[in-house]
């Protein structure tokens, strides 16, 4: 896979209130070949910088705890703005509590880099963002032309993020459902080549949806890709037993989704 966006082409907005941490991350970015880094200390300054237009950032790297609002609220504000929703977001934080990180996982963030981190870990997050900004041609356009995909996720931001990735691959026939119950209704009337679903959803979760597809749907053989922030190994094992084709963690790398879609098409 050849990366088509150089790190030298990326303009980074670093949101970090600590001068020491900002200096450390800036030096790591420079060592990785990133030439354009702008540092701000608050979320409001970040949003203002992103909406300036001139020399706008193509990637945001943010701490979780900011003086005016958490990084979770910053990324949600970006996702709520049509002009900013597609900008990749990397969170840098020592926070480990799932309930705190869940909004970031559901927002379509590219990566969560845990403190303390190495330059190699930051580099992987950078390349994932570059891959998202300008994806390589992993799939044959002839393969994906006409492909029908159903996205099932109660998070609007996650659905939008997945839709953008699919559209960049040339997949245009995309249907969305907010939970498994709505997906069942859609699956009864429409045929799909791939179902991408979250795990934790109201009404009917991803495991129940997968079980329905495998045991009751007339499309029992359709590949089901689960993209989830669920960490409970018992629940994930139950999903595998239900017949899911593949499981991908949130936040996910764009290349991972493309590879799983390619595998599904091959099968």
**Domain for residue 196, yes or no?**
yes
Q: For strand 36-40 and strand 246-249, is the pairing parallel, antiparallel, or unpaired?
A: unpaired
pLDDT of residue 177 exceeding 90? yes
> Do 112 and 223 reside in the same domain of the chain?
no
* Predicted pLDDT of residue 114: 87
Q: What is the DSSP letter of 69?
A: S
What tokens were used for 153? 């996720």
Domain extent at residue 230: 141-266
* Predicted pLDDT of residue 4: 42
User: Cα separation of 167 and 172, whole Å?
Assistant: 6
> Do 148 and 259 reside in the same domain of the chain?
yes
> Do 228 and 253 reside in the same domain of the chain?
yes
> Do 178 and 250 reside in the same domain of the chain?
yes
> Do 111 and 21 reside in the same domain of the chain?
yes
> Do 83 and 178 reside in the same domain of the chain?
no
CA angle, residues 37, 42, 46, in degrees to nearest 5: 50
Q: What is the pLDDT of residues 183-210, one digit of tens each?
A: 999 999 999 989 999 988 988 989 899 9
- Tell me the pLDDT band of 157, cut-offs 50, 70 and 90: confident
* Predicted pLDDT of residue 9: 82
Q: Give the count of domains, the chain.
A: 2
- Tell me the pLDDT band of 265, cut-offs 50, 70 and 90: low
Return the CATH number at 257: 3.40.50.2300
**Domain for residue 2, yes or no?**
no
Cβ within 8 Å of residue 246, ≥6 positions away: 223, 225, 226, 260, 263, 264
> Do 230 and 254 reside in the same domain of the chain?
yes
User: Cα separation of 80 and 128, whole Å?
Assistant: 22
Comparing CA positions, the residue from 55, 99, 97, 51 lying closest to residue 74 is 51
**Domain for residue 1, yes or no?**
no
- Tell me the pLDDT band of 264, cut-offs 50, 70 and 90: low
> Do 75 and 41 reside in the same domain of the chain?
yes
**Domain for residue 181, yes or no?**
yes
> Do 145 and 262 reside in the same domain of the chain?
yes
pLDDT of residue 142 exceeding 70? no
Percent above pLDDT 70 for the chain: 88
**Domain for residue 190, yes or no?**
yes
* Exposure string over 18-56, b if 16+ CB within 10 A, otherwise e: eeeebebbbebbeebebeebbbbbebebbbebbeeeeee
> Do 126 and 196 reside in the same domain of the chain?
no
Instruction: Tell me which of 231 and 24 has the higher pLDDT.
Output: 24
CA angle, residues 144, 81, 8, in degrees to nearest 5: 65
Q: Which of 85, 117, 133 is the last residue of a domain?
A: 133
H or E element that contains 181: helix 180-189
* Exposure string over 240-262, b if 16+ CB within 10 A, otherwise e: eebebbbbbebbbbbbebbbbbb
- Tell me the pLDDT band of 181, cut-offs 50, 70 and 90: very high
* Predicted pLDDT of residue 54: 57
Q: What is the pLDDT of residues 82-119, one digit of tens each?
A: 888 888 899 998 888 877 877 777 776 778 888 888 88
Percent above pLDDT 90 for the chain: 33
> Do 125 and 93 reside in the same domain of the chain?
yes
User: Cα separation of 246 and 182, whole Å?
Assistant: 22
* Predicted pLDDT of residue 1: 35
> Do 20 and 129 reside in the same domain of the chain?
yes
């Amino acid at each position: 896979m050849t990366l088509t966006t150089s790190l030298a082409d990326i303009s980074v907005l670093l949101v970090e209130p600590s001068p020491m941490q900002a200096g450390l991350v800036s030096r790591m970015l420079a060592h990785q070949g990133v030439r354009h880094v702008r540092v701000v200390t608050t979320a409001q300054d970040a949003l203002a910088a992103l909406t300036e237009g001139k020399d706008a950032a193509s990637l945001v790297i943010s701490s979780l705890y900011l003086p005016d609002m958490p990084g979770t609220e910053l990324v949600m504000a970006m996702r709520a703005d049509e002009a900013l929703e597609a900008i990749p977001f990397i969170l840098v934080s020592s926070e480990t509590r799932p309930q705190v990180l869940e909004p970031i996982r559901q927002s379509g963030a590219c990566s969560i880099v845990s403190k303390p981190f190495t330059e190699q870990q930051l580099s992987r997050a950078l390349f994932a963002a570059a891959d998202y900004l300008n994806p390589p041609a992993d799939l044959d356009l002839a393969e994906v032309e006409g492909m029908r995909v159903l996205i099932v996720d109660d998070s609007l931001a996650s659905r939008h993020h997945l839709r953008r990735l699919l559209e960049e691959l040339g997949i245009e026939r995309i249907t969305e459902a907010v939970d498994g119950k709505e997906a069942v209704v859609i699956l009864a009337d429409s045929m799909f080549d791939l179902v991408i679903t979250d795990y934790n959803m109201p009404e009917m979760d991803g495991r129940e949806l997968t079980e329905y597809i495998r045991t009751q749907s007339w499309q029992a053989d359709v590949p089901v890709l689960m993209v989830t922030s669920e960490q409970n190994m018992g629940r994930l094992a139950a999903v595998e037993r239900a017949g899911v084709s593949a499981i991908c963690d949130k936040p996910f790398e764009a290349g991972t989704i493309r590879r799983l879609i390619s595998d599904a098409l091959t099968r």
